Structure 1
Amino acid sequence: MAKKATVKKTKSMEETLWDSANKLRGTVESSEYKHVVLGLIFLKFASDKFEERRQELKDADQDQFLEMVEFYTMKNVFFLPEESRWSHIIKNSKQDNIALIIDTALHTTEKNNPSLKGALPDNYFSRLNMDVSKLAALLDTINNIDTLKDKQQDIVGRVYEYFLAKFAIAEGKGKGEFYTPKSIVNLITEMIEPYKGKIYDPACGSGGMFVQSMKFIDSHNGNKKDVSIYGQEYTSTTYKLAKMNLAIRGISANLGAVPADTFSKDQHKDLKADYIMANPPFNQKDWRADNELLDDPRWRGYEVPQTGNANYAWILNMVSKLSDNGVAGFILANGALSGGSEEYKIRKKLIENGLVEAIVILPNKMFYTTDISVTLWIVNNNKKKRTVKLNNIERNYRDRKDEVLFMDLREKGVPFEKKYIQFTTEVTEEIAETYHKWQQKDKGYENIPEYCYSGSLDDIRSKDYALAASKYIEFINRDENINFDEKMAALQSEFSELLKEEEQSKKDFLNVFKEIGYEIEL
């Protein structure tokens, strides 16, 4: 009998890099090594671009310009002195002072490129005191990545997204708040369509909203030069990560002079944005002291948001920054849809003022760091009848001032990474199409049970201004349609995976002690 051939699955570039990064466990805290890896990838990419431009100058017999900064920056390439180049790092990768060499490379790269001011870590690798052999192994892995192999595929961008997602998953609840799952960002961009104007994110994290906006413009044949970007981020390490993430893709942005709290130090006070995209911290507590920000112009015309929960402070911050025709898409915890005394008054006024355009309930398990149920809000400063040309396509918007579209997407997601949920490209397009049909005159929109409902202002008043979609969308008893055998099989599989993960965690724990010379007998 012929022996059955076994097919070995080839690991992707991202998976190989992830495995190499995982070897840093035990020598670096898991909360730190995302910055280690992404900093090194940035250096590799910057160096590859530099060497490519350098070769162009040589091929053109322009050797006299090889060390002139202007001949690199004119092509949007970072100029790297000798000590910043990847070849120098790899040549010294096995040296005991490799961490200092990397820190020097980062420092001189930032020093020679003003656009990177405040983006790169300072003396970061030296402070971590990493195992030299493990750091060298990681450098060897990154050295094998050809960041310029396929410019259309944005290899470095892929690595960034993959690692941000994987780190968020690995760090678990309460960690990785800077990462918004890609399919949620895709949905926001497809719904609000940021083609032209100013884009703002008041809690921009690693800059994922901006990156996806640019991808949206590319995929819909728009012009990226028609967009300008503004953002703010509180955490210093995440602020640097955002600047690196944008710089690596050639996206210029104003993220404020320093990392700072959006409420206490607003760095874009006079901004009027055409598009706002955000995933602010859920149910943020103690965001201001009792007697602070009481007369802040961002609350003008509304109640002062309560100190115990910043959800409505984020909403009013964004509303205050919308241009006359501005539209915002942002994520909030479901608790913001109803209840609360101060929140009730603000929500009522937002609805009566005709600002709330759509309330979209998202499936559970879309976020890697929380199980909390969340909603996508669309707020629009101009829901009146008008005709607009978007990317050469004419849209005849009807008057929707006294209507809100409710959507329930809890049955629209597909499994991802075993225990998470995401939207496929087709589903995202279907959702966006439903929304755009509802906005326009005579486009065939209709209410669909368990999916969407166009609620009138009178409907919402009758529900005392609650915005929970379940109060408006027609639901059928889903229990009648459940296949319990399939449900139990799925639960059995999930429980099996949990047990395997627990066993692996136990092994990892024992190995850590073994590596430092101690063994634990169970």
Structure 2
Amino acid sequence: MSEKDLLFKIVQKFSEVDLSPEVISNHDMGYVFEELIRKFSEANNEEAGEHFTPREIIRLMVNLLMSEDQDRLSKPGIITTVYDPACGTGGMLTVAKDHILSDINSNANVELFGQEINDETFAVSKSDMIIKGENPDNIKPDSSFSYDGFPNQRFDYILSNPPFGKDWRQDQKFIEDEHARGFSGRFGAGLPRIDDGQFLFLQHMISKMHPPDSGERTRIDNSVQRFLPCSRGESSGS
């Protein structure tokens, strides 16, 4: 931008707008940041699918995911967790939290967790969490296949839109080692074709559910597999 004499003009425009915390809250600044992400994603259509899921789709997923949990989420002092193993810029996490706080229980404590393989997108997601006052340490880098950022941790709600037809050759050794552990690992149900890792994402998400006999329950929505909300290890959809 400096070489093309644009940097000064851009900084000048920003300096004309009052973005102080007294004028714009962290929450509203997060929306501004999210809108910038959306604009850049739309400008680069080839990569937009990797980084940005339309908010209308996310809202539909979230509503399906939580439609039967109104009573639970309305309880005073409720603490609940939301996880996305391919979180991109973090849109699904923030929409899920906004839905709970705005439409169900404004006093709920919603903790967000995510993991993202793309370094640039990971940085954007982590920055978005900081801007919105979330815990940035709950956003982990690297592939969810080869590195479980949240070992031995289970979540109440899991939703994701992982990339279509993800090749898992790069993670092959880690995945095969995990598969060899059977159902003590994350991929005990079997391995898909090397050029399609969608089933691996689904298995990873199931491994993050609360056990059926724990007294807790988990709901999952994986848009790629059309895997609709499930509880206590029971699934519906196709």
For the aligned pair, the TM-score class normalised by the smaller chain equals 0.7 to 0.9
Taking the aligned partners of 2:9 and 2:192, their CA distance within structure 1 comes to 51
| Structure 1 counterpart of 2:230, from 372, 375, 380 | 380
Equivalent residue for 1:326?
Answer: 218
Q: CA deviation at 1:287?
A: 4.4
Counterpart amino acid of residue 261 in structure 1: S
Cα distance in 2 for residues equivalent to 1:221 and 1:201: 21
**Amino acid across the alignment from 2:23:** K
Aligned length: 214
Structure 2 counterpart of 1:212, from 92, 95, 99: 95
Counterpart CA distance in 1 for 2:134 and 2:123 is: 14
Q: Separation in 1 of the partners of 2:202 and 2:7? A: 44
- For the Cα contact (< 8 Å) 1:201–1:278, is it kept in 2? yes
> How far apart, in 2, do the equivalents of 1:404 and 1:266 lie?
26
What residue number does 2:127 align with?
244
Percent of aligned pairs sharing the same letter = 24
Asked if 1:299 is matched to 2:187, the reply is yes
Larger radius of gyration: 1
Instruction: Return closer, same or farther for 1:290/1:228 CA change in 2, 3 Å cut-off.
Output: closer
- Secondary structure at the counterpart of residue 210 of structure 2: strand
Q: Report the alpha carbon displacement of residue 377 of structure 1 after superposing the two structures with TM.
A: 2.5
Give the counterpart of 1:200 among 58, 83, 88.
Answer: 83
Residue type of the alignment partner of 2:38 = A
Alpha-carbon deviation of 1:183?
Answer: 1.0
Gap runs ≥5 in structure 2: 74-78, 179-184, 212-216
CA contact (8 A) 2:166 2:198 kept: yes
What are the residue-to-residue correspondences of 1:82-97 with 2, within 5 Å? none
State the 1:134 CA deviation: 1.0
Distance 1:204 1:224 in 2: 25
- Whether the aligned pair in 2 keeps the contact of 1:289 and 1:307 (CA below 8 Å) is no
Where relative contact order (Cα < 8 A, 6+ residues apart) is larger, the structure is 2
1:58-457, aligned counterparts within 5 Å? 130-131=2-3, 133-147=5-19, 148-149=22-23, 151=25, 154-175=27-48, 177-193=50-66, 195=73, 196-223=79-106, 226-253=109-136, 254-256=138-140, 259-288=141-170, 292-296=174-178, 297-300=185-188, 302-324=189-211, 325-332=217-224, 376-382=226-232, 404=236
CA shift, 1:277, in A, is: 1.5
Query: Structure 1 pair 144/215, CA: closer, same or farther in 2 (3 Å)?
Result: farther
**Displacement, 1:145?**
2.7
C-alpha distance in 1 between matches for 2:39 and 2:14: 17
The one-letter code of the counterpart of 1:380 is C
2:93 alignment partner AA: F
SS of 1:131 mapped into structure 2: coil
Runs of 4+ in 1 over 6 A off after TM superposition: none
| Distance in 2 (alpha carbons) for counterparts of 1:404 and 1:331 | 13
* TM value normalised by structure 1: 0.38
Q: Deviation at 1:225? A: 5.4
Deviation of 1:217 (Å): 2.1
CA contact (8 A) 1:299 1:316 kept: yes
**How many Å separate the matches in 2 of 1:222 and 1:203?**
26
Q: Write the letter of the residue equivalent to 1:149.
A: V
5+ unaligned residues in a row in structure 1: which ranges? Answer: 1-26, 28-129, 337-375, 384-400, 406-466, 468-522
* Aligned partner of residue 156 in structure 2, secondary structure: strand
CA contact (8 A) 2:167 2:197 kept: yes
CA RMSD of aligned residues (A): 2.6
SS at match of 1:157: helix
Q: Which residue of 2 aligns with 1:498?
A: none
2:182 matched to which residue of 1? none
Shift of 1:144: 2.6
Work out the CA distance in 1 between the residues paired with 2:126 and 2:172.
33
